[in-house]
Amino acid sequence: MSKTAKWIIGIIVIITIIAGVWYLQKSNNNPAQISPVASSTESVRVGVSVALTGPSAFIGDSYLDGINMAQKEINDTGGVNGKKIDLIIEDNQNLAKEGLDSLNTMLLKNPDMIISTMSVPTVAMSPVVKATGKPLMVAAVFADIVSKNDNAISFFSRPVDDAEASVQAMTKNKVKKVGVLYLNSEYGKAGFDAFEKKAEVAGIKIIATEAFMGDVTDFATPLLKIKGEKPDALYIVAINSSPIIKSAKLNKVAIQIYTNLIPVFGSLVYKDPATFTDVYLTAPKVAIEGTPEYESFRAKAVASGINIEGNSLGYTSVGYDNLKSVAKVFESPEASRDFVKIFNGLGSWSGVNGTYDLSSRDVGIALYPVQFKDSKLIEVK
């Protein structure tokens, strides 16, 4: 079947589902009682929309490693109340249209729930998923999904977690003035807003800000503008900060360079160690050598056949914990109908990155300030 035909069929399916939801609302006049499409009695079907091609594929590939690890463990130990977990994996390329394409394909296979990653495709998908009544879990998404979709859960490090860890390192290093360069997107703006608030509380003054579009490749001009304000440090919010850091070092913009979680989560620090040497970043416990979480999860990864050489396992750990928590929720026969309520009822729940509080629909993953030095992530204490 061609991509165009698949798209047309998908649109028809979505229109049919939305029409059915509208009809039930009109008939019952009680949206809370609307049931999702009937789920399978033979397996738990989970749709997973990830970036497997394009510039963000390094995120999707690593995340999917964790999803696959968790699926195998769950299924090999009896499944969920005897049901196997079946995955419906589709590539969203971190693009809006492709995100909708991936959703259309998944809906044709009638998943019990959907997991989506990356802000751009998830923002496009969320209203359609909401109309179907299916539960939605999002990860590697900084856009606000949960306030607009009451059947959605966010389970990933939040912008506030990222900003707080960076500000902790800046405070320790006596940074007083900082310049900020951030991606002009849902992700970049959320990261900048969170950092601005945390910096203000810590007494760190933002003396220069420059936003850039995703297709920019030459960062010399915005960096020179920031340099002109003579900051103590530079803070970067980007999906791939490597070219910016290279340019910043070349132009000697600041003595200290700070950036966000992605280079660690996506193992970019190990792929380009010269660029990230001496840079301050944020990391989950599984990525920090010497922690119990690091040792334990790497052993799991090795047992699953994942190559751990130069691999932080950051996104992998998120995918693993995401699917493990989903499996826990689906131990209840009412999971498809009351996913959020059951998820929140789990309360304190242990995963590979420590203990999470699942009583909220916006679940964070603790981050810690680190510096990349001698090809290692060293926690800033």
Residue 140 DSSP symbol: S
Phi, psi for residue 276 in degrees, rounded to 5: -90, -5
Q: Per-residue pLDDT averaged across 230-259, rounded?
A: 92
The pLDDT of residue 328 is above 60? yes
Give the C-alpha separation, 72 to 202, whole Å: 44
Give the C-alpha separation, 171 to 174, whole Å: 5
Residue 92 to residues 52, 137, 151, 277, 314: CA-CA distances in angstroms? 7, 15, 21, 32, 20
Contact present, 142 and 198 (Cβ < 8 Å): no
Residue 284 to residues 60, 209, 237, 241, 377: CA-CA distances in angstroms? 18, 27, 17, 18, 11
Higher-scoring residue by pLDDT: 15, 367: 367
Question: Which two three-digit tokens encode residue 130?
Answer: 């909401």
Q: Three-state secondary structure along 13-78?
A: HHHHHHHHHHHHHHHHCCHHHCCCCCCCCCEEEEEEEECCCCCCHHHHHHHHHHHHHHHHHHHHCC
**pTM for the full model?**
0.86
The one-letter code for the residue type at 251 is N
Give the C-alpha separation, 42 to 377, whole Å: 44
The residues facing 116 across adjacent strands are 49, 138
Give the C-alpha separation, 117 to 124, whole Å: 12
Residues 146-198 have pLDDT tens digits of 999 999 999 999 999 999 999 999 999 999 999 999 999 888 999 999 999 99
pLDDT-based confidence at residue 41 (cuts at 50, 70, 90)? low
pLDDT at 340: 97
Taken in order 331, 334, 337, 338, is the CA torsion positive or negative? negative
SS3 at position 378 = strand
pLDDT at 142: 87
Q: Which residue segments constitute the domains of the chain, with CATH numbers given?
A: 3-157+313-363 (3.40.50.2300), 159-260 (3.40.50.2300)
Give the C-alpha separation, 229 to 231, whole Å: 6
| Relative orientation angle of helices 314-329 and 335-345, to the nearest 10 degrees | 110
The residues facing 205 across adjacent strands are 177
Contact present, 285 and 370 (Cβ < 8 Å): no
Question: Which two three-digit tokens encode residue 256?
Answer: 């200290």
Give the C-alpha separation, 170 to 31, whole Å: 48
- Percentage of the chain beyond pLDDT 90 is 83
pLDDT at 24: 33
Range in 121-135, 243-257, 345-359 with the lowest mean pLDDT: 243-257
Residues 55-93 have pLDDT tens digits of 999 999 999 999 999 999 999 999 999 999 999 999 999
| Relative orientation angle of helices 292-303 and 57-76, to the nearest 10 degrees | 80
Give the C-alpha separation, 349 to 136, whole Å: 19
pLDDT at 136: 98
